[in-house]
Amino acid sequence: MALRWALDPTATLTHADWPIARDADTPGESDSVVVTFSLDAGGRAESAIRTIRRIGPRTGRAHYQLKSRTPVEEKLKKANVPKIREELTLVPYGEKYTEPGKIDRTKILALRDEYLREHNASIVWTDEWEDLDSAPEGLPVVLLIPAVLDLADFTGERSKSAFRQIIAHRLKHHLMSQQEVQDAVSTLQTAFAKLNATAVSEDGNPLTVIQNELAGALSDWQVRFKIDVGALSPPDLSSFIEPATSVFVDDGAMTSANSKGHGLQRAMLLELIRFEARMSSVRGAEKQPPMVLLVEEPEIYLHPQKQRSQARKLREIANSPSHQVLLTTHSPYFVDLANPRGIVRVSKPASLETRTQQISADLFTGDHADSNKRAFNMAYWFSQGRAEMLFARRIAFVEGPTEMALFPLLAEKLGVFDESVTLIDCASKDNLPLYCEVADLFGLDYVVVHDEDPVPPALQALADADFADSCCSTQRDRKKAEHRSKSRSTATNAAIFAAAKGRRVVVFSPDIEAEAGISRAQGSKKSKQMAAVERFQDVSATDIPESIREVVRAIYGISEAAVEVGG
């Protein structure tokens, strides 16, 4: 399969093309990487949008194709423009070419384009991929860092290594701005032009010598030979820089980078790209072509702390105006739920058909959009691994640490524990509707667990009497505050139920501690989660209350019905 990304210069993914199985018309080997760009110089008509694709191996150089409106008739196609004068009679626009000497490709193409415009109505057209002589001006540099590869391709001595490509990308623009290099290129171009101009008249010209040698040796074939060396284009200095570049690392022994650990090698390359991104920002994005960095599994070879560090650095690269980062990952550390529109979730359900989900609109809308977004982002600090929800078969959204500690313990005892089910600490009952909204946008399967927290009858009686029985103003104010909190919890319960949209909702009445038989004194003394674990640590499965067992089954997918416990 050829991986394919569809990219937009504004860094917006065309999610319909992510990912795409190998197209029937996609050339290349089985390990090819095909990147499709849609280029539009802002404000132009839709017809002016160009689609260009880069086709190449996972390491090494690529070639480019332009999807263009092409004549069906072979002799009118760009690939068949005359290359020698004898071919001019084969095309309808050839008679207009009157220049002497070698055919100038630019001029013959101009005549072809003029003919196509004049006869547009009578020509049969089709859309075809057309090979380009070189990478189009301004097209981003594409760098792929595969998950599994020969490390010599990555940072080693081979001329096409990713490290060398980055070094060449940085240096070649500097060198081409030097007057000495410009003069050298001009001298070479002049020499090439003279070589073709004198080939016919000077017997000492090497082209003439070779032509005559071939004609003499193959005289019985009654053929003539013409050898032509095309005009020299400005050289790609990358081809000179890359083979000459080496990197050595001293970690107690100064040796080649490809002899070091894989994690260090990938980290070194990403740091180089990060440096390049900073330099591009300082010097101005217009001075350097943009770069698209494709990273497969950036978490491999890294322990969790380094994964978090690399994720932060990749986001820094992506924030550079001239850089775009696309990565595939199985690690929650590289998924930023604070910026959900940058996430494409790829899954393969029971149907075995690959599915994708991507959010294209704002995460939260309505009158409270800003406050909801702020609350959701703040909740990250209570559950820094919450992005794991995107990788889970099922999610259980819970209020806090008591449920996080207790439910996996009980699931183990009941024999229903499933690593593909993830519990997410939402840090508050108030945040549960926000998490439901995010899960729905990504098409995730989830269950919600929360406490009812009803207004106790005694407290409601006080409220009905306007707290007249309170012994002092301090106690009255405290009771009023407690009543307001409990009353607000009732509204929150309704909001959670509405946000779940018919999905499984588990409600403990009055709360999980009461249902589990954990006293307030125990919770205050040891913390609620520690008291809960201690309560069930040595309890057998048969001694777990049936109501609690039903909740655990609902979380791990054994029971599908909505559950209310206690009350």
Joined tokens for residue 15: 């999610």
Nearest one of 502, 488, 421, 408 to 455, comparing CA atoms: 488
Return the number of other C-beta atoms located less than 10 Å from residue 543's C-beta. Answer: 9
Joined tokens for residue 388: 């794991």
Alpha carbons 291 and 505: distance in angstroms, whole number:
46
Q: What is the pTM of this model?
A: 0.65
Domain limits, the chain: 1-65, 176-245, 352-566
Alpha carbons 336 and 347: distance in angstroms, whole number:
18
User: In this predicted structure, which of 202-206, 445-449, 560-564 has the lowest mean pLDDT?
Assistant: 560-564
How far, in whole angstroms, is CA 221 from its chain's centroid? 59
- pLDDT score of 407: 95
Alpha carbons 154 and 268: distance in angstroms, whole number:
11
Nearest one of 289, 171, 163, 157 to 240, comparing CA atoms: 171
Q: Give the confidence band of 6 by pLDDT, cuts at 50, 70, 90.
A: very low
Joined tokens for residue 336: 């930023």
Look up residue 413 and give its DSSP letter.
H
Joined tokens for residue 260: 């070091």
Q: Give the confidence band of 449 by pLDDT, cuts at 50, 70, 90.
A: very high
Alpha carbons 304 and 239: distance in angstroms, whole number:
38
Residue 85 reports pLDDT greater than 90:
no
- pLDDT score of 285: 44
Residue 18 reports pLDDT greater than 50:
no
Of 3-17, 31-45, 337-351, 412-426, which one has max mean pLDDT?
412-426
Residue 168 reports pLDDT greater than 90:
no
295 pairs with which residues across the strands? 145, 327
Q: What is the mean pLDDT of residues 22-36?
A: 53
Alpha carbons 504 and 557: distance in angstroms, whole number:
10
Residue 31 reports pLDDT greater than 60:
no
- pLDDT score of 1: 23
- pLDDT score of 461: 53
Q: For helices 401-414 and 546-555, give the axis angle rounded to 10 degrees.
A: 100
Can you list the positions of beta strands (E) in 185-322?
248-250, 254-256, 291-296
- pLDDT score of 47: 38
Alpha carbons 35 and 144: distance in angstroms, whole number:
10
C-alpha torsion sign, points 146, 148, 154, 159: negative
Nearest one of 86, 82, 84 to 108, comparing CA atoms: 82
Alpha carbons 207 and 195: distance in angstroms, whole number:
8
Q: Give the confidence band of 519 by pLDDT, cuts at 50, 70, 90.
A: confident
Counting beta carbons within 10 angstroms of the beta carbon of residue 176, is it exposed (0 to 12), middle (13 to 18) or buried (19 or more)? middle
Of 11-20, 354-363, 415-424, which one has max mean pLDDT?
415-424
Q: What is the mean pLDDT of residues 216-241?
A: 72
Alpha carbons 543 and 290: distance in angstroms, whole number:
64
Which helix (H) or strand (E) covers residue 70, if one does? strand 63-71
In the three-class reduction of DSSP (H, G, I as helix; E, B as strand; rest coil), residue 191 is classed as helix
Alpha carbons 372 and 23: distance in angstroms, whole number:
42
Identify which has the larger pLDDT, 564 or 177: 177
Identify which has the larger pLDDT, 238 or 327: 327
Q: What is the mean pLDDT of residues 298-308?
A: 88
Identify which has the larger pLDDT, 59 or 16: 59
- pLDDT score of 446: 95
Alpha carbons 259 and 269: distance in angstroms, whole number:
15
How far, in whole angstroms, is CA 267 from its chain's centroid? 18
Identify which has the larger pLDDT, 236 or 145: 145
